[in-house]
Structure 1
Amino acid sequence: MRQFTAVVNPTAGGSTGAAALIALARLLREAGADLRTEYSRSLVHAGELARTAGEQGRVVLAVGGDGIAGCVGGALSGTGATLGLVPAGRGNDFARALGLPTEPGALARVLLTGEPRDVDTVEVTSAVHDRTVVLGSVYAGVDALANRHANRSRLLRGAASYYAGGLRAVASWRAARYRVTVDGVEHAHTGYTVVAANSGYYGSGRLIAPDARVDDGLLDVVMIEEAPRRLFFALMKELETGAHVHRPQVTVLRGREVRIEADREVPYGTDGEVEAVLPVTARVLPGALRVLG
Structure 2
Amino acid sequence: MRQFTAVVNPAAGGSSGTAALLPLARLLREAGARFDTQYSRSLEHAQDVARQAAGQGDVVLAVGGDGMAGRVGGALSGSDAVFGVVPAGRGNDFARALGLPSRTEELADLLLNGSPRPVDTIEVTSAVHAGTSVLGSVYAGVDAVANRHANTSRLLRGAASYYAGGLRAVLGWRPAAYRITVDGTEHERRGYTVVAANSGFYGFGRNIAPGARLDDGLLDVVVINHAPKRLFFAMMNELKTGAHLGRPQVEILRGREIRIEADRSVPYGADGEVDAALPVTVRVQPGALHVIC
Q: Name the TM-score, length of structure 1 as normaliser.
A: 0.99
Residues of 1 paired with 2:257 and 2:10: CA distance? 33
Map Cα deviations across residues 40-98 of structure 1 (whole Å, 9 max, x no partner): 11000000000000011100000000000000000000111010100000110000000
Q: CA deviation at 1:207?
A: 0.1
Q: CA deviation at 1:15?
A: 2.4
Q: CA deviation at 1:14?
A: 5.7
User: SS at the partner of 2:129?
Assistant: coil
Alignment length (residue pairs): 293
Residues of 2 paired with 1:164 and 1:195: CA distance? 20
Gaps of 5+ in 1: none
Gaps of 5+ in 2: none
Residues of 2 paired with 1:197 and 1:292: CA distance? 21
Counterpart of 1:32 in structure 2 is 32
Counterpart of 1:8 in structure 2 is 8
Map Cα deviations across residues 198-255 of structure 1 (whole Å, 9 max, x no partner): 0000001000000000000000000000100110000000000011011100000100
Residues of 2 paired with 1:80 and 1:102: CA distance? 27
Counterpart of 1:220 in structure 2 is 220
Partners of 1:13 and 1:63 within 8 A in 2: no
Counterpart of 1:64 in structure 2 is 64
Q: Which runs of 4+ in 1 moved over 4 A?
A: none
Counterpart of 2:266, as a letter, is V
Counterpart of 1:140, as a letter, is A
Partners of 1:126 and 1:280 within 8 A in 2: yes
Counterpart of 1:99 in structure 2 is 99
Residues of 2 paired with 1:7 and 1:102: CA distance? 19
Residues of 2 paired with 1:41 and 1:13: CA distance? 16
Counterpart of 1:135 in structure 2 is 135
Partners of 1:10 and 1:42 within 8 A in 2: no
The answer to whether 1:144 aligns with 2:144 is yes
Counterpart of 2:284 in structure 1 is 284
Matches within 5 A, 1:108-187: 108-187=108-187
Counterpart of 2:202 in structure 1 is 202
Residues of 2 paired with 1:157 and 1:2: CA distance? 35
Question: 216-225 vs 126-135, which deviates more?
Answer: 126-135
Counterpart of 2:250 in structure 1 is 250
Q: CA deviation at 1:13?
A: 4.6
User: SS at the partner of 1:131?
Assistant: strand
User: SS at the partner of 1:96?
Assistant: helix
Counterpart of 1:89 in structure 2 is 89
Counterpart of 1:49, as a letter, is V
Q: CA deviation at 1:148?
A: 0.1
User: SS at the partner of 1:264?
Assistant: coil
Counterpart of 2:86, as a letter, is V
Question: 8-17 vs 175-184, which deviates more?
Answer: 8-17
Partners of 1:50 and 1:75 within 8 A in 2: yes
